Amino acid sequence: MAQRLQAMGQPNYERGFEVSLHEHTLRLPLSWKKPQVIFVNSMSDLFHEAIPDSFVHRVFDVMRSASWHTFQILTKRAERLDTLGQSIDWPRNVWMGVSVETSSYLYRIDHLRQTPAHVRFISFEPLLGPLGTIELSGIHWAIVGGESGPGSRPMDPEWVKDIRDQCLASDVPFFFKQWGGPNKKRTGRALEGRNWDGMPAIPE
């Protein structure tokens, strides 16, 4: 996708998939007066090792100032999140999550649990294998979704149901996003005849 946007001449992607810091967009949320949910760095990872600590702190300064928005951050760099997160003043409008695609990455949840974020969530997407027992203490939300697009790897319904059942047993809101596949619209998002749209409680 980054290469496509680069080929289309999109200025923010003139370096393709290389990490870039976009100073000119940093304060944009402050100009959006209508409250909205903002997914931070949808094409990147705020805790990537190439992003300076000082820039991460500046991002949090903006999110803290834009208190009328809700910001969702998702990372695969759970170790850096754990380390750097201890020095961050976490505002209540920032939700922090980690990606867990297979059981090999369950350790990321432990790092997330140490983070002083007010809402901590797990994105099991794309879910690529069974996870076994998941420690959900200190977790406020779980999202599950299958891989989509050409060449997407299949997701076993039993994997999804197992996560759902563990969430229900632990009183963790469960959101099922999609089955995925080559045609995600056709496969939809119903699980056992219904949609699962659980959301975390908004901190006061």
Q: Tokens 């797990």: give the residue.
A: 122
For residue 191, the tally of other CB atoms under 10 A from its CB is 16
3 has pLDDT over 80: no
Sort residue 47 into left (φ over 0), alpha (ψ -120 to 50) or beta. Answer: alpha
**Does residue 74 lie within any of the structural domains?**
yes
**Does residue 45 lie within any of the structural domains?**
yes
pLDDT in tens, 46-101: 999 999 999 999 999 999 999 999 999 999 999 999 999 999 999 999 999 999 99
**Does residue 199 lie within any of the structural domains?**
no
What's the CA gap between 204 and 186, in Å, rounded?
Answer: 39
41: domain CATH number is 3.80.30
Residues spanned by the domain of 92: 35-187
Q: Look over the chain and give the mean of its residue pLDDT values, rounded to a whole number.
A: 94
- Predicted pLDDT at 12: 75
The mean pLDDT of 141-167, rounded to a whole number, is 97
Strand order through the sheet with 37-40: 37-40, 70-75, 94-99, 119-124, 141-145, 174-178
Cβ 17 vs Cβ 51: under 8 Å = no
106 has pLDDT over 90: yes
How would you class 91 by CB atoms within 10 Å of its CB: exposed for 0-12, middle for 13-18, buried for 19 or more?
A: middle
Please tell me the total count of domains within the chain: 1
**Does residue 12 lie within any of the structural domains?**
no
**Does residue 69 lie within any of the structural domains?**
yes
What's the CA gap between 126 and 132, in Å, rounded?
Answer: 16
204 has pLDDT over 70: no
